[in-house]
């Protein structure tokens, strides 16, 4: 949530697990890429296009990161 | 030539039950669309503060309400000023103050004005491009003639409707009696493909940055739609030949029509990738009903789609943008003997961030107001998704971190204007007359 808040330039209190693409002005395609790149570098993981396409909200980000860390 | 509204009214009479709009699972028929636009016009006319020629600022969210407001305002005799709903307060205030001024030149011209579209001016201040009903109807006619749009089209609209490209797509499809599926953005790729499936979409418009994004997020999934997609309109910024060839291979029977144009002269040239396989580096030839000439090395355009003025700029100032009847695009180019046009470069200094034009001066003004910064200069930096992004060069008075700079910039500028890289240099290279040498900055970076 912290990463989404930083990229979208909104208070972290406004970000929930259900926050989704388009909920904040800066969460557009550029924002989505920035969020995913930050997750990749912070968790030292690499998303495949198939993973990225499924990510629509914060919940999906958490699940995708967890799945990568389990691999 | 019928106005766009007259064409929608005709469609409402001829195909009352046909679906015109789909927005979040709600279907709106042509009959309902016309009714809602007329209701909006009536609402405006009954408002005591409304008058013919009133400028109506519309937050152009890609939803059905915007569509009703846009055409309803035209029907009532108002002038639409569509702006991005996320426009920052400073820009919004500026636009509001400019359009609220009375039109100072040739008041009779107000009659035919449909829209004022604000674009990025070379000085950083937004410029209001005045488009008449004739301009926008001519533009839709030209585009539909080239792409081949018809009433069977089901188009997915994921482009912003605050810009000429997205708003133009809306007018093109509704004037032909096709169906528009309002998606609003490409950001959610899963939803994009789900909509292609669910509504049996036959075409869409995209900027090259949308394609780079789709490709990154979904590899070659678009190939699954090769038999379904009749057309894709592409425009607003440069697309590499590799990407054009990839699309040609993946979508062998889709008409992929790349346009060249400006808000002032929407879609002035077109090239369809398969037809122009031998001239993929060109911007094609003049669009139907458009004449293009290269005058003093500059691409100049003539046609009924070309604006005649900017809001509240004097005829003398506007005359500088024309060579006789030909509008000066600000792009330098050349034409081969077969009429293929090639761009050499931009005369105007703009940074094209995924189709959004950014004036370096607007960003520099914000940077220069930071007390720790002595002066700054911005230029385009190549980016694999957006095509170009903003790179800032600053001369510090006192040390300041990137994070501190961004904290100041973010509330003042839309996110596509935020510098992606900030470099500290000892001096900004300038000409003897004090003009920033942006080319020199690019070479040094």
* Strand pairing category for B373-383 and B387-396: antiparallel
Give, in degrees to the nearest 5, the angle at Cα B240 between B237 and B245. 125
Domain that holds residue B92: 4-343
Digit-coded pLDDT (tens) for B269-308: 999 999 999 999 999 999 999 999 999 889 999 999 999 8
Q: How far is CA B165 from CA B36, B161, B208, B417, in A?
A: 24, 7, 13, 19
Higher pLDDT, B436 or B311: B311
| Structural domain boundaries in chain A | 2-70
Q: Give the pLDDT mean for B337-342.
A: 93
CA closest to A52 among chain B residues: B217
Digit-coded pLDDT (tens) for B76-135: 999 999 999 988 888 899 999 988 877 666 545 556 899 999 987 656 678 899 999 999
Query: What is the pLDDT of chain B when averaged over all its residues?
Result: 92
Residue B400 and residue B337 share a domain: no
Q: Considering CB atoms only, which of B210, B386, B410 is closest to A9?
A: B410
CA closest to B212 among chain A residues: A29
Residue B420: band (very low, low, confident or very high) from pLDDT cuts 50, 70, 90: very high
Q: Cβ A53–B218 below 8 Å, yes or no?
A: yes
Does the pLDDT value for residue B75 go beyond 50? yes
Q: How far is CA B219 from CA B158, B212, B223, B233, B350, in A?
A: 19, 10, 9, 20, 31
Residue B58 and residue B41 share a domain: yes
Distance from CA of A53 to the nearest CA of B (A): 5
Digit-coded pLDDT (tens) for B125-174: 788 999 999 999 999 999 999 999 999 999 999 999 999 999 999 999 99
Q: Cβ A49–B216 below 8 Å, yes or no?
A: yes
Q: What is the pLDDT of residue B111?
A: 63
Phi, psi of B213 (to 5 degrees): -70, -50
Distance from CA of B157 to the nearest CA of A (A): 15
Residue B386 and residue B327 share a domain: no
Does the pLDDT value for residue A46 go beyond 50? yes
Residue B391 and residue B288 share a domain: no
In whole angstroms, give the CA distance from residue B116 to residue B102. Answer: 14
Q: Which residues of A touch B (CB under 8 A)?
A: 9, 20-22, 25-33, 49-50, 52-56
Q: How far is CA B153 from CA A56, B186, B229, in A?
A: 28, 20, 10
* CB contacts, 8 Å: B219 with chain A: 49-50
Residue B442: band (very low, low, confident or very high) from pLDDT cuts 50, 70, 90: confident
Does the pLDDT value for residue B343 go beyond 90? no
Residue tagged 């940055």 (tokens): B209
Distance from CA of B86 to the nearest CA of A (A): 6
CA closest to A22 among chain B residues: B187
Check: CB of residue B269 under 8 Å from CB of residue B260.
yes
Residue B207 and residue B238 share a domain: yes
Which tokens is A70 given? 């389990």
* CB contacts, 8 Å: B218 with chain A: 49, 53
Is B122 in a helix, a strand, or coil?
Answer: coil
Q: What is the pLDDT of residue B110?
A: 58
Q: What is the pLDDT of residue B317?
A: 84
Residue B360 and residue B332 share a domain: no
In whole angstroms, give the CA distance from residue B408 to residue B154. Answer: 44
Higher pLDDT, B344 or A52: A52
Q: What is the pLDDT of residue B107?
A: 47
Best residue in A37, A48, A53 for a mutation probing chain B (most B CBs within 10 Å): A53
Digit-coded pLDDT (tens) for B282-292: 999 999 999 99
Q: Cβ A21–B185 below 8 Å, yes or no?
A: yes
Question: What value of ipTM does the predicted structure carry?
Answer: 0.91
Q: Which CATH number characterizes residue B268's domain? A: 3.40.50.12780
CA closest to B406 among chain A residues: A9
Residue B408: band (very low, low, confident or very high) from pLDDT cuts 50, 70, 90: very high
Distance from CA of A7 to the nearest CA of B (A): 10
Check: CB of residue B169 under 8 Å from CB of residue B155.
yes
Instruction: For the beta carbon of residue A27, count every other beta carbon within 10 angstroms.
Output: 25
Q: How far is CA B335 from CA B76, B283, B330, B338, B415, in A?
A: 43, 10, 16, 8, 37
Residue B277 and residue B387 share a domain: no
Check: CB of residue B180 under 8 Å from CB of residue B173.
yes
CA closest to A20 among chain B residues: B188
Crossing angle of helices B208-218 and A29-43, rounded to 10°: 40
Best residue in A28, A34, A50, A57 for a mutation probing chain B (most B CBs within 10 Å): A28
Residue A9: band (very low, low, confident or very high) from pLDDT cuts 50, 70, 90: confident
Best residue in B188, B191, B389, B402 for a mutation probing chain A (most A CBs within 10 Å): B188
Residue tagged 């040739």 (tokens): B106
Q: Cβ B188–A26 below 8 Å, yes or no?
A: no
Crossing angle of helices B133-147 and B4-14, rounded to 10°: 60
Q: Which CATH number characterizes residue B440's domain? A: 3.30.300.30
Higher pLDDT, B101 or B339: B339
Where a domain ends, among B315, B343, B371?
B343
Residue B153 and residue B36 share a domain: yes
Digit-coded pLDDT (tens) for B356-398: 888 888 899 899 999 999 999 999 898 888 889 999 999 999 9
Residue B377 and residue B396 share a domain: yes
Residue B306 and residue B288 share a domain: yes
* Secondary structure E strands in B143-302: 154-157, 179-182, 203-206, 231-234, 255-262, 265-272, 285-286, 291-295, 298-302
Residue B295 and residue B363 share a domain: no
Q: What is the pLDDT of residue A14?
A: 94
Does the pLDDT value for residue A66 go beyond 70? yes
* CB contacts, 8 Å: A27 with chain B: 187
Residues across chain B:
445
Q: Give the pLDDT mean for B205-218.
A: 94
Q: Give the pLDDT mean for A29-50.
A: 92
Which tokens is B231 given? 């057309």
Q: What is the 3-state secondary structure (H, E, C) of B38-52?
A: HHHHHHHHHCCCCCC
Where a domain ends, among B317, B343, B369?
B343
Residue A71: band (very low, low, confident or very high) from pLDDT cuts 50, 70, 90: confident
Where a domain ends, among B299, B325, B343?
B343
Does the pLDDT value for residue A55 go beyond 90? yes
In whole angstroms, give the CA distance from residue B270 to residue B290. Answer: 11
* Stretch (H or E) spanning B327: strand B326-335
* CB contacts, 8 Å: A54 with chain B: 190
Q: Considering CB atoms only, which of A9, A22, A33 is closest to B185?
A: A22
Q: Is B284 on the interface with A (CB under 8 A)?
A: no
Digit-coded pLDDT (tens) for B2-52: 999 999 999 999 999 999 999 988 999 999 999 999 999 999 999 999 999
CATH of A2-70, one of 3.30.310.220, 3.40.50.720, 1.10.1200.10, 2.60.40.1180: 1.10.1200.10
Q: Considering CB atoms only, which of A20, A27, A29 is closest to B213?
A: A29
Phi, psi of B344 (to 5 degrees): -95, -40
Q: Cβ B86–A25 below 8 Å, yes or no?
A: yes
Q: What is the pLDDT of residue B77?
A: 94
**Into how many domains does chain B fold?**
2
* CB contacts, 8 Å: A21 with chain B: 185, 187-188
Crossing angle of helices B4-14 and B164-176, rounded to 10°: 40
Q: Can you list the alpha helix ranges (DSSP code H) found in B121-183?
A: 133-147, 164-176
Residue B367 and residue B263 share a domain: no
């Amino acid at each position: 949530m912290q990463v989404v808040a930083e990229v979208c330039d909104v208070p972290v209190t406004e970000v929930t697990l259900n926050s989704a693409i388009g909920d904040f002005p800066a969460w557009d395609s550029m924002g989505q890429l920035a969020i995913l790149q930050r997750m990749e570098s912070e968790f030292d993981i690499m998303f495949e296009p198939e993973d990225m396409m499924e990510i629509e909200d914060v919940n999906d980000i958490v699940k995708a990161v967890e799945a990568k860390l389990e691999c | 030539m019928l106005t766009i509204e007259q064409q929608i009214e005709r469609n409402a009479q001829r195909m009352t039950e046909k679906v015109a709009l789909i927005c979040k699972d709600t279907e709106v028929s042509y009959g309902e669309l016309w009714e809602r636009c007329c209701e909006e016009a009536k609402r405006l006319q009954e408002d005591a503060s409304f008058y013919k020629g009133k400028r109506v600022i519309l937050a152009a969210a890609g939803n059905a309400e915007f569509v009703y407001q846009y055409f309803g305002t035209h029907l009532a005799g108002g002038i639409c000023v569509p702006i991005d709903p996320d426009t920052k307060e400073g820009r919004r205030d500026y636009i509001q103050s400019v359009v609220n001024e009375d039109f100072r030149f040739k008041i009779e011209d107000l009659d035919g004005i449909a829209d004022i579209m604000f674009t990025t001016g070379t000085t950083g201040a937004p410029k209001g491009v005045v488009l008449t009903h004739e301009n926008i109807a001519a533009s839709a006619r030209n585009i539909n003639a080239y792409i081949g749009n018809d009433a069977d089209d089901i188009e997915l609209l994921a482009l912003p409707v605050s810009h000429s490209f997205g708003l133009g797509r809306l007018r093109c499809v509704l004037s032909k009696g096709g169906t528009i599926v309002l998606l609003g953005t490409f950001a959610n790729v899963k939803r994009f493909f789900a909509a292609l499936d669910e509504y049996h979409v036959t075409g869409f418009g995209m900027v090259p940055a949308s394609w780079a994004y789709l490709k990154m997020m979904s590899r070659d999934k678009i190939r699954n739609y090769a038999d379904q997609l009749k057309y894709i309109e592409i425009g607003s910024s440069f697309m590499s030949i590799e990407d054009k060839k990839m699309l040609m291979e993946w979508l062998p029977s889709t008409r992929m029509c790349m346009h060249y144009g400006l808000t002032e002269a929407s879609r002035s040239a077109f090239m369809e990738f398969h037809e122009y396989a031998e001239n993929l580096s060109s911007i094609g030839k003049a669009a139907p009903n458009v004449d293009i000439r290269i005058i003093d090395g500059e691409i100049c355009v003539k046609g009924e789609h070309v604006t005649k003025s900017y809001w509240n700029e004097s005829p003398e100032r506007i005359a500088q943008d024309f060579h006789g009847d030909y509008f000066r695009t600000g792009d330098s180019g050349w034409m081969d003997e077969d009429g293929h046009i090639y761009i050499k470069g931009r005369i105007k200094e703009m940074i094209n961030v995924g189709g959004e034009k950014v004036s370096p001066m607007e960003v520099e003004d914000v940077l220069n107001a930071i007390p720790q910064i002595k002066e700054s200069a911005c230029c385009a930096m190549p980016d694999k998704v957006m095509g170009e992004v903003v790179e800032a060069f600053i001369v510090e008075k006192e040390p300041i971190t990137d994070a501190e700079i961004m904290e100041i910039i973010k509330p003042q500028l839309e996110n596509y204007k935020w510098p992606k890289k900030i470099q500290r240099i000892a001096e900004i290279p300038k000409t003897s007359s004090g003009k920033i040498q942006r080319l020199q900055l690019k070479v040094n970076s």
